[in-house]
Chain A
Amino acid sequence: MREVGGASVYAYTGSRAFDAALPTIVFAHGAANDHGVWALQSRYFAHHGRNVLALDLPGHGRSGGKPLASVEAIAEWLVALLDTARVERAALVGHSLGALAVLEAAGRHPERVEKIALLGPAVPMPVSDVLLDAAKADDHLAYELITSWSFSAGHQLGGNALPGVWMTGNALHLMERSRPGALYVDLLACHRYAGGLSAASKVRCPALLILGQRDLMAPPKNAAALSAALADQRIFSLPDCGHSLMTEAPDAVLDALRDFLRPQAPSQLSI
């Protein structure tokens, strides 16, 4: 547990001590979630030669402070976290709101970012009025709507690759544990973020987009402009997957991340 901006920060490390000699991967979660959404993927990298910092964003999970009100603020916070951790360059992996923050951070601070992986991104990422209104009122309906829209029809009835865990129930109850108002702040940050294409044009590192073909929260078509604006990008598209990619297709996501984040010889680095 360290402090960034005067508030404590929790990062899951896969029960491994930080090793300055190893490359680092930072994972940023989506709205009203926490580090646990990356459990399988982050643990893999932590035990395969990487430092892993699977974060609880400010005002989420075990981290202190208040949720940050804009994607830009989260992006700057991510870089401040790298400073605190004394990490010069890192690969950044983000989901949904976290993907937007990773994109913005890579656009603002290209020298600090080795690669970016964006899961369930959309630029822009408008949020419906009914969801925003429910979140603003801290109405449980907001969690129910997100759960309903975040899993493909096939996964609404389960069939989890992780034995014994009911996917939609787990997602719902994780959101229920978020602090009052956190979901609204997160969703509003997504809704108001207008700098995605500008940030994408400034990204200098390789980018991976992982898209769910059945994603209703961030439909894959809404990533087309983003994809076009990124100079060095590749798309990994998952059939029968909604927005909860890491849960719905944990192995496929891990394989895509593993291939993309495979260490390169220094001469092959893009920057």
Chain B
Amino acid sequence: MKFFSLIRANLFRKKIRFVLTIGSFAVALFLFGVLAIVKNAFSGGVDIAGADRLMVINRTSIIQPLPIAYADKIRRIPGVKELTYSNWFGGVYQDERNFFPQFAIDVDNQRRVYPEFDIPEEQWQNFVKDRQGAIAGAAIAKRFGWKVGDKIPIKGTFLGGIWDFNLDGIYHGTRQADDETQFWFQWKRFEEQVPEQFKGHVGWYAVKVDHPDDALRVSKAIDTEFANSPFETHTDTEKQFAAGWVKQFGNIQFLIMAIGGVVFFTLLLVTGNTMAIAVRERTAELAVLKAVGYSDRFVLFFVLFESLFIALLGGVIGLALAELFTLSGDPTHGILPFFVLPVKAIFMGLIVAVVVGAASGIIPAIGAMRLRVVDALRRV
């Protein structure tokens, strides 16, 4: 603590340089945070997907339906604990830019298969009783300013017409990354209003197995059950399904690592150069400190502390800005529902900041430590 005035005075010696160096760290860590947010937005579904849940889709494509009659057959397969089904609706609320996913859901089994979505019991019961009812995720309700009791008209796309819904409830995810942008309504209403050729079909089945270890066996059993039928199935764990979805966007991970790597390497050079200049211009002062009795080790940590402090402060500012960036919500309005800065990424960012700060400061610090008073004073 007694060295505080010495450390503080040195940090603020060149205020513009201090601010710019911290700014460069803040910008880099902000970029790191945004990249982490985007990565999470793509892979968040993969990370939180249940290992004990299977997705059963039509083998040809997810847009091809499966018969509702498969439900009982799948339930009879050993290892299957719960089952529910859904259909994609794809309606438009007010404007096509207001995208959010709408699903016709099986009200009897939805909550057994997806327990992570929390809905007040009273709201759920109202929804179950209301054929025109709907449940919205908290994020989507917030985005459009919906509250329970509101009437929500949605224009059907492939089914046409205006579908009026009563908002009976709002669900919240129990985990940070849970998707709160979905809009659910009763599958029975969907079934009643679809053209004759679509009746008796669902978009996909979600199956909960007794134990994650059973997932592979049950997947094979389901696909075998319906092999050579007009509606062959393709079953994956929810995690694999989500990963397959992300793969459609290319190798996001590589892209992020490549950009991040280039940014941090550049930052390392810039900061290292700044620290080297800062030490160079203080050569005589460091020599005087040593002359009056400050040890080599003190001088080493003195210089290193400065670099670490700048890195950490810049890192905290950058990551805080990235967190603020997420508060405005998903800029794609629903395409990236997991638009959050994961806690893991915050810790990783801080570690990266400290490592870059240490790496950029260590060479000037060692130079300062090895500085010979006689040589330093002769140079001045």
- The answer to whether A and B assemble together is no
Where the two chains meet, the residues of A that have a C-beta atom closer than 8 Å to any C-beta of B are none
